[in-house]
Structure 1
Amino acid sequence: MDADDFLDEEVQSNVQRYERMIRNKTHEFFDAEALEGICLYYIHRDKLKKALEVIYFSENFYPNHVGLMIQKADIFMSMDQFDDSLEILNRAELFEPTNEDIFLIKGELYLKKENLSEADKYFNLALENTDERDEVLFEIAYAYESAMYYAKAAQYFEQIVIENPEIEQAYLDASNAYEFSGNFDKSIEVLESLIDVNPYNANAWFFLGNTYSKMKMLHKAIDAYDYCIAIDDSFTPARFNKANELVELEKYEDAIVEYKTAIELGENDAITYCNLAGCYERLDKDIEAREWYRKAVKKNSNIAEAWFGIGLTFEKENQPKDAIQYLKRAVLIDEKNTEYLLVLAESLYKTGKKEEAIECYHEILEIDSTMIEAWLDWSYIAFMDEQYDEAVNILEKAIEIDADCHQYHYRIACYLFAKGEIKQAKQHIETALEKSWKDYYLLYEIIPQLQNNKEITDLIELYKPNDEKF
């Protein structure tokens, strides 16, 4: 047991003694240091009201104790009572005019008030009055980071690196701050500096991979993760992230190897199972995909993606009746997911539950009125029932929302042909051909006989772009 463990035990004991005193309305003696520890205990647990009660209690015995004043000022600052906090700090400064903690909190307070010049002034005073320069630089950097001044935070982290190149955390924090500021190049530069100092630093290679990933430089990200794994082959986050990049590159077999290795090393959570299942699904190995999706829901029954995955594998195997219960479970968890609702609607329609399917399309379009597949599928139900007027009406509403969607024009043309309204149909075909000539085959998917209609084939040939004629 080290000193920190003894200290924690002592604080816990003091907290219990203090709470017993309050509960029993008795009197106990606590020295100022013990009260500071009790107060800090509550602060760390976000129990600011209780922390303040400790301060008020302590003021009966130690009204001029600077440490307790600083804690009180810190609490008031956390509660956005800036004037009260500043008043307490000014009073504390009278007793200890070189206390670095006073200057640090003043600096943070002015940061919260967006007075950067005053913040800088007090942070500099903290640095001038400390024997723990690295620690204070970290405190200042974290204050700027918390206030979302990421570039400024990065400068302080880099100052630590300059003064003490052996402190790994400063490099990682600087890289992270630059990344948040949008300066990915600088983030990479800092990590490469750390690698220069210690080429076998697995964390540096891992975070370098993450940065390249965010820059969509997937091959470089994979290379960085490979270096990380070469240094520490049990570094499961690197394997997991590498697998994700391989999925982006559609290298599903390779991704499967990495996910499985991560699982063997202990990364056996529902998300990893889901991602692995997704690889099998993309390889059309639906039985294996379903097996891993089932493992995912056993780990976490609230993971909608896994329930949807099970349903989707059944739908792909043309077993819509089996799919429905799983798709409904996914929608129950993630009600606004239009992809889930779309596949559910399709399965419901295939099993003869037309009205339920139409309800799904209504839900989808309430969430996202621009979802092309929902309008097309809903209108197709009416078309298959030979309700041509209804099919046309549905797509007319869709066109009101997005008149530039060529799929709507091709589809409504088919419905109008079925109604015998040839002139209107041709007008929509012309509009569709102008917007996307290469997709004219969409006509034939709905009414194959149109391939033999000379008027239509001539119209398609008329609108054929010059670069398609040779």
Structure 2
Amino acid sequence: MEEDFEFESPEEQKFSVDRYEEMLRNEDQYFFDAKAFESIIDYYITKNDPIKALQVIEFAAAQHPFETTFLIKKAHLLASILKYDQALEALTKAEYLEPSEADIYLIRGTIFSSLNDHTLAEENFFKALELADSKDEIYYQIAGLYQVQGSYEKAILYLKKCLKLNNENQDALYEIAFCYDVLEQQEESIQFYKQYIDTDPYSFAAWYNLGNAYHKLEQFEAAIDAYDYAILIKENFSSAYFNKGNALVNLDRFAEAIEVYKMTFEYEPPTADTYCAMGECYEKLELMDEARSYYKKAVKLDSNQSDAWFGIGVTLDFEERYFESLHFYKKALDIDDENPDYWFAIADARYKLKQFDESIEAYTKVVELNSTDVEAWLDFSSLLYEIGRLQEATEVISEAIKCNPDEAVLYYRLVAYLFAAGKYNEALNFLEIALNTDPEKHYILFEYLPQLQGNPIIIDIIKKYSEGK
């Protein structure tokens, strides 16, 4: 039977380890009581040396053959180095000696979970639950199993059970946020964290996750308040500063965001993400030298930070250094060639450099990657119209309408192209559709073709819709 060991003091542990290592050097056999063996095993586990810990277990099992603790530790260590068959074998022996030991079933459940045998994993976890005095860790493992299976509602249920028994389990707090996120249940997430905070108002993790839930619902002021509470409780909580900075950016409070991002440097080394975020703030403030400086710091830390390469390009573009900007846009594209924003920037820079064929190629890629980018469709068709390829401009805007049938601005642009092509009846038909979709945007038509402002037929149709709506 397993004894209730008292743990050795650090001095006793050192004495036991020294004596054990002396035994190995002398190639001798010393006797150790079970408590000393357990202490030696734990010493090697804390040193992250599972092989030496397993070696101690062999000696311990030889001297204490009916002690299940050593078999359980052996199974745990073998599982940690992915020797599952041997681990399961050790657990079978332990079960034979002491079938009511909960850890046997907990470790076995963990192994079956790693082997994707969810049925056997669940069976063993619930067996452990029946036998264990302390159930919070088992609830956490069951929740993890349900997450792997995609049963996030069940996972939340067991994470809540875990937290009810141990409200200091930070991992469980974060996992609940993840589950609610996957289920897109941010309102429920907010409700949960508020209730949790009522019972534990000093949980920085709960305030932080509450802030993240508000952030995802775009309630940025509420998110900032929650991050502030997290920071108040844990001053060195750099993730809370970073996310607070992001929330401030979303409120266009760029100067404040920069100061908050800088706070992270007091508690952790600067990261490429933080430098890049700061660069973006300076860019929005049109302080391009500072923006470029932070983007450069970002790529120095991480040369695969595509957004920072792109940011350098944007600052040069702003200064009308289009040829130089292309070099950096291409660097970003080398890392992420499926990013429509990068292609859009290249298309625009090529257009400004009057490299129209290359611009058309880039626009084609933008709308292929993001067919809902109305601005890209408009600019693409506008370029074709400008260089006298009216038929293609009309085709592009028609394709845009297929992809975005509710966007009135596209219909008005098509009306302009049809008038320009002399297709008046068709143009008037589409004008009615445009006005039906959004009559207030009719000014777009005149912005593009001012000469239509004097057309009485068009004025009459617009008046009919404007007054009738």
For normalisation by structure 1, the TM-score amounts to: 0.75
Find out whether 1:160 has 2:158 as its counterpart: no
Q: Which moved more, 1:184-193 or 1:260-269?
A: 260-269
CA gap of 1:229–1:76, structure 2 versus 1, over 3 A, is closer
Offset of 1:70 from its aligned partner? 6.6
Equivalent in the alignment of 2:351: 349
Distance 2:43 2:238 in 1: 38
Partner SS for 1:349: helix
Find out whether 1:275 has 2:274 as its counterpart: no
Offset of 1:429 from its aligned partner? 1.6
CA gap of 1:245–1:36, structure 2 versus 1, over 3 A, is same
Find out whether 1:300 has 2:302 as its counterpart: yes
Q: For each residue in 1:360-381, what CA deviation from the matched residue of structure 2 results, as whole angstroms up to 9, or x when unmatched?
A: 1222233234433333222222
Equivalent in the alignment of 2:143: 144
Q: For each residue in 1:97-123, what CA deviation from the matched residue of structure 2 results, as whole angstroms up to 9, or x when unmatched?
A: 343321322444677524687345412
Find out whether 1:241 has 2:240 as its counterpart: no
Aligned residue pair count: 425
Q: For each residue in 1:115-156, what CA deviation from the matched residue of structure 2 results, as whole angstroms up to 9, or x when unmatched?
A: 68734541234414xxxx3xx632542443354223213202
Distance 2:297 2:416 in 1: 45
1:411-430 pair list within 5 angstroms: 411-430=413-432
Q: Name structure 2 gaps, 5 residues minimum.
A: 1-8, 148-154, 181-187
RMSD over aligned Cα atoms: 4.2
- Answer whether contact 1:103 1:125 (CA < 8 A) is retained: no
Partner SS for 1:432: helix
Distance 2:402 2:219 in 1: 40
Equivalent in the alignment of 1:123: 128
Output the amino acid matched with 2:173.
S
Offset of 1:95 from its aligned partner? 2.0
Which of 388, 392, 398 is equivalent to 2:390? 388
- Answer whether contact 1:208 1:224 (CA < 8 A) is retained: yes
CA gap of 1:73–1:234, structure 2 versus 1, over 3 A, is closer
Offset of 1:407 from its aligned partner? 2.9
Partner SS for 1:271: helix
For normalisation by structure 2, the TM-score amounts to: 0.75
Distance 2:280 2:379 in 1: 25
Equivalent in the alignment of 2:118: 113
- Answer whether contact 1:70 1:101 (CA < 8 A) is retained: no
Distance 2:341 2:356 in 1: 18
- Answer whether contact 1:364 1:374 (CA < 8 A) is retained: yes
Partner SS for 1:394: helix
Which of 235, 257, 260 is equivalent to 2:259? 257
Offset of 1:65 from its aligned partner? 8.0
Distance 1:98 1:259 in 2: 53
- Answer whether contact 2:75 2:88 (CA < 8 A) is retained: no
Distance 2:391 2:453 in 1: 24
Q: Name structure 1 gaps, 5 residues minimum.
A: 18-26, 162-168
Distance 2:200 2:207 in 1: 9
Find out whether 1:179 has 2:185 as its counterpart: no
Equivalent in the alignment of 1:165: none
- Answer whether contact 1:259 1:272 (CA < 8 A) is retained: yes
1:7-406 pair list within 5 angstroms: 67-68=70-71, 71-72=74-75, 89-108=91-110, 112-114=117-119, 118-119=123-124, 121-128=126-133, 133=134, 137-148=136-147, 149-161=155-167, 169-170=168-169, 172-182=170-180, 183-184=188-189, 185-195=191-201, 199=202, 202-203=204-205, 205-231=207-233, 233-263=235-265, 265-266=267-268, 268-406=270-408
CA gap of 1:174–1:403, structure 2 versus 1, over 3 A, is closer
Offset of 1:410 from its aligned partner? 1.6
